[in-house]
Amino acid sequence: MTTQRRAPEVWREMGLTDAEYARIVALLGREPTDVELGMFAVMWSEHCGYKYSRPVLRLFRKYRESLEGAGFENAGVVPLDEQLGVAFKVESHNHPSAVEPHQGAATGVGGIIRDIFTMGARPIAILNSLRFGPLTEPRNRYLFEHVVEGIASYGNCIGVPTVAGEVYFHPCYSGNPLVNAMAVGVVPLARIVSARADVPGSAVMYVGASTGRDGIHGATFASETLGDDQEEKRPNVQIGDPFMEKLLIEATLEALETGAVLGMQDMGAAGLTCTTCEPTSKSGTGVEIETSLVPTREADMTPYEIMLSESQERMLLYVQAGREEEVAQVFRKWGLNAVVIGRVLQEPVLRVRHRGEVVAELPPDYLTTQCPTYTLQADEPAYLAEAQRLELESVPVPSDMNEALLALLGSPTIASKRWVYEQYDWLVGTQTILPPGAGDAAALRVRGSDRGIALTIDCNARYCYLHPYRGGQIAVAEAARNLACVGAVPRAITDCLNFGNPQRPEIFYQFEQAVRGIADASEFFETPVVSGNVSFYNESEFGAVYPTPTIGMLGVLERADDAVGMGFREAGDVVLLVRPAARPADAEPHFGLGASEYLSVVHGLERGAPDPVDLPTERALHRLLHTLARRRLVRSMHDLSEGGFAVALTECALAHGVGVQVDLPAEAVDHAPRPDAALFGERQTRVILSAAPQHASEIIALARAHGLACDTIGATGGERIQIDWQGARLIDLPLTRCREAYEGAIPRWFST
């Protein structure tokens, strides 16, 4: 092996500190080779090594267990019934999407799909959480348009439906959009595949597309702040081929049927490096590979490039000795590469050869468990105390509540996302029950089971910015509430934690507090975090993004046909509002206006704090909603979130074009002292129901039995939205005007 002393600039450009380089030299007892240095750089990046986030992630019980046991797999798996499990995970592709939005978003979808079928699961659904700057800026429109295009082109081509998601717009994302992709699959519990290499002598088989120079040091790129050199980072962005991925899905699932595949991992971040060191480190084994055997699509690729490339649609399989050809034939039948490039060793060493010459040789643990872990300083941000102060007396009450509601409906964050989801094929696979926009969460049938699943992805970043701990709790609570609103029992979480530079104490404070809020809520709801991703360094010349800990959540429907939508179905139904029986003692004196979309859109203010969520009351609400769906007592259920009661009620009416007339009792809005607080306050643990009149008394009795209040507030019918409060009609609008504002907010930016 050739080693040499280097100038500090060499490892610093790779993202390693001087102290980390000294640690590498101490571990090896020598200077690293070029290949080894590159391998350390990617595996010791925050993106792969979690060197800054690991101490905080221990707050998640499942994560603690994984650290003490075998380590996280490619995705989390939750049992659906006695035979089937559901695999799911969310990951970010933020920086690539900022540099090359189409390919960045497309390969984000491709990568998360591979995490699913690498577990042996057939992918059945995609979700996404997207954040952009205001559409008034041409660059933001460009990023938004091409990110959606990239998601659509990849997902539609591989035949996996995009069934749900969320899109937010805020100036903090102007220089650094967030593109989080979530995928879900179904796997027989007896056929789950681990990312392990337990059997010495087994073959190391490279399958899928050929390796190119795209994506080299992509993991390092994801672990640094975006700067003025974005164009120079284009080579760090991978290039996807969805048709190749479709072939890889089918070939992989067919190969698993042979029983000869002992372990498997997707070549995602860090490429061939991670797929050789992580499985062997977990298994206490080693591996020897020959990089000249790796199929390449460019001439004269070096072993450094081959080990670090993040080219798409590639997997590494660990195959039972003597059965290599049996597996290889399956992949070749699908027109894919399948090459044995090495063997698993008894000795815990990772040895890389190139044309026979050893170019890297080290224990796999040096790249994984020996990654340094840092405990960073966390200081409360200077802005927080001032930003949380909100004096309602200084906020004028609008003279026209109709115009305030129309402004909210026309806000791109609240407005219909039809322009987005109509570009997605959400019906392919024929398992989708509730299409995008029809319910608070997606609902799907599962072939081979009477049960169905519900899926959502959610986070209010403004809440997290103004109260990180409470915002983390609410993100979990609202995701669980969305699932309960379609009739599902919340089961487990995958999270994508998007923050700025963690080495800044105020950013690390946001991260630590938000994770603590997520951990406390998930433990209380018994919805463990079973997989996820951390994305730091989401900053640009405009500053850091708001803390955005996105929550992807899975729920289970005992009967798929129990799924409930959000829209009023027909005239003559009663409308009810379920809420806490008492206002939380620590509730803010702003009646939900603090941190609200109303305050931002109508008054240009982002102040106050979100109302707290009372976890026992919230859990009682989830159980009530599940009971109502199981007993078929309701026709629709929709929770209150951005925009408060008036927006939620309007969304229920617009879903099927059924008008509504309601009269809000004072107690239903916590005796709010002003009309805008009654209409637009964003209070937690509240859901609007509609039901046949004969079921109203039973619904109210069940709510009381669960310790909740339930008010009959009106009826459906007509073609208007009418809301009365304290003897005055605050809202009186035709559905047509509401629809124009709600449906037209996003398309108008792309109509020319």
Catalytic residues: 47, 93
Which amino acid does the sequence have at 465?
A: Y
Phi, psi of 78 (to 5 degrees): -120, 130
Q: How far is CA 599 from CA 151, 312, 606, 653, 682, in A?
A: 32, 44, 7, 24, 10
* Residues 411 and 420: beta-carbon distance below 8 Å: no
Distance set, CA 258 to CA 203, 247, 616 (Å)? 15, 17, 48
CA–CA dist 680, 54 (Å, integer): 39
Please list, in sequence order, all residues whose beta carbon lies within 8 angstroms of the beta carbon of residue 589, skipping any fewer than 6 positions away: 392
| DSSP letter, residue 270 | T
Could you tell me if 594 and 608 are in contact, meaning their C-beta atoms sit under 8 angstroms apart?
yes
Q: Is 326 exposed, middle or buried (0-12, 13-18, 19+ CB in 10 A)?
A: middle
Closest CA to 529 of 488, 475, 485: 475
CA-atom Rg of the chain in angstroms: 26
Helix (H, G, I), strand (E, B) or coil at 17: coil
**Ramachandran region, residue 16 (left: φ > 0; alpha: ψ -120 to 50; beta: rest):** beta
Sheet containing strand 720-725, strands side by side:
636-639, 687-691, 574-580, 708-716, 660-664, 720-725, 728-734
* Contact call for residues 716 and 660 (beta carbons, < 8 A): yes
- Which residues are 211's β-sheet partners? 296
User: Read out DSSP for 657-683?
Assistant: T--EEEEE-GGGGTT-SSHHHHHH---
Q: Given its phi and psi angles, is residue 465 left (phi above 0), alpha (psi -120 to 50 degrees) or beta?
A: alpha
**Going by C-beta distance under 8 Å and a sequence separation of 6 or more, which residues neighbour residue 328?**
205, 338, 339, 340
Region label for 562, one of left (φ > 0), alpha (ψ between -120 and 50) or beta (otherwise) = alpha
DSSP 430-480: S-EEE-TTSSSSEEEE-TT-S-EEEEEEE--HHHHHH-HHHHHHHHHHHHH
Alpha-carbon span 697 to 649, nearest angstrom: 21
The single residue listed with the structure tokens 């090495």 is: 342
d(CA 87, CA 77): 4
CB 731 within 8 A of CB 405: yes
Residue ranges of alpha helices (H) inside 181-284 are: 218-221, 242-256, 271-283
Identify whether the C-beta of residue 317 lies closer than 8 Å to the C-beta of residue 267: no
The amino acid occupying position 521 is A
Residue type, 509: Y
**C-alpha–C-alpha distance, residues 104 and 95, integer Å:** 8
| Of 125, 124, 147, nearest in space to 135 by CA | 147
